[in-house]
Amino acid sequence: MAKRKTFDTRRQAGFTAIAAFCFVMLYLPIVLMAIFSFNGGLALTRWEGFSLVWYVTAWHNEVVQAATIRSVVIAAVATVVSTLVAVLAALAMGRGKSFRGRSAMFALINQPLMVPEIVTAVSLLVVFAWVKTTIGYSGLGYLILAHSAFCIPFAFMPVRARLQGMDQTLEQAAADLYASAWQVFRRVTFPLLWPGVLAGAMLAFVTSLDDVVITEFVKSAGQDTLPTYMLGQMRRNLTPETNAIATVLLVFSVVLVVAFFFVSREKHAKAQL
């Protein structure tokens, strides 16, 4: 009996060339940026010798220090808020009783993913401008609220996907053994859900950390984050210092992803045991 042929994209004509072209176009600019962050001169496209001067300059730049601290604080608080809301929403929609409007709620939670970011930014600007004129407050709270609202769907999707893939047998067994709803969640559901929570938190943190559009619309004077500072430098006097900052952000993101991979793999292995 003849074997049934299966469709394999890797065997299609031109697949290797197209894949190689896509990888080159995607990663070559990043590699060049990292290389020229070690350029000793002011030129962005002409190599003038290896040097760490731009990393030292960025490290001692007080504006960069303040923007970095502000970015991390906003991203950390927004991550906690958005992940908490995402977990509660996923549990309500995945483990709670069926209710009218569930599809509408799902669409509402994922609204920031479905509309252009500029629309969300303008709408938040209008609301926060009205609040500012009403109560007179102009602190970082607006940026934290804006980032939290924008990051909710990024935290929600991994949690919901993990929750849908979980076998409810263990939860039902715990309930049959007279465990309360809180005990079932704390002892069974949350340990199994933890990799999804961690993935959602990581996505929310990275999304908040590198957001430009919403931050640019919502921030007040003196509230530059690291991405908006870099955008301002590109409009004024662009130097390899910007390349150095971007390279550090890239390394930080890679380290974060690698750390998440090992932590989630360890948690998954323990959950299987």
Q: What is the CATH number of the domain that holds 227?
A: 1.10.3720.10
- Tell me which DSSP letter residue 100 carries: T
Q: Is 178 among the domain residues?
A: yes
First to last CA, the chain: 42
- Model pLDDT, residue 175: 78
Question: Which residue reads 């401008």 in tokens?
Answer: 129
Q: Is 126 among the domain residues?
A: yes
Q: How many domains does the structure of the chain reveal?
A: 1
Q: Is 101 left (phi over 0), alpha (psi -120 to 50) or beta?
A: left
Which two structure tokens, joined as six digits, stand for 259? 């750390």
- Model pLDDT, residue 93: 81
The boundaries of the domain holding residue 129 are: 62-272
pLDDT tens, per residue, the chain with 273 residues: 455 666 666 677 777 888 889 889 988 988 988 888 898 888 777 888 888 898 998 889 898 899 999 999 999 999 999 999 999 888 888 776 666 767 777 778 888 888 888 888 999 989 998 988 888 888 888 999 999 999 999 999 989 888 887 777 777 788 777 787 788 888 888 888 888 898 899 989 989 988 889 999 998 888 889 888 888 887 777 778 888 888 988 888 888 878 877 776 665 555 555
Q: Is 41 among the domain residues?
A: no
**Inter-residue contact 214 to 198 (CB < 8 Å):** no
Give the list of residues 6+ apart from residue 76 with CB closer than 8 angstroms, or none.
205
Question: Which residue reads 């927004």 in tokens?
Answer: 78
Q: Is 28 among the domain residues?
A: no
Q: CA-CA distance, 148 to 162, in Å (whole number)?
A: 21
Q: CA-CA distance, 79 to 73, in Å (whole number)?
A: 10
**Inter-residue contact 227 to 147 (CB < 8 Å):** no
- Model pLDDT, residue 144: 93
Q: Is 79 among the domain residues?
A: yes
Q: CA-CA distance, 205 to 79, in Å (whole number)?
A: 5
Q: Is 19 among the domain residues?
A: no
Residue among 197, 199, 203, 222 nearest 75 (CA): 203
E strand segments, the chain:
none
**Inter-residue contact 250 to 182 (CB < 8 Å):** no
Q: CA-CA distance, 125 to 150, in Å (whole number)?
A: 13
Q: Is 216 among the domain residues?
A: yes
Q: Is 94 among the domain residues?
A: yes
Q: Would you say the C-alpha torsion 76, 82, 85, 90 has a positive or negative sign?
A: negative
**Inter-residue contact 132 to 138 (CB < 8 Å):** yes
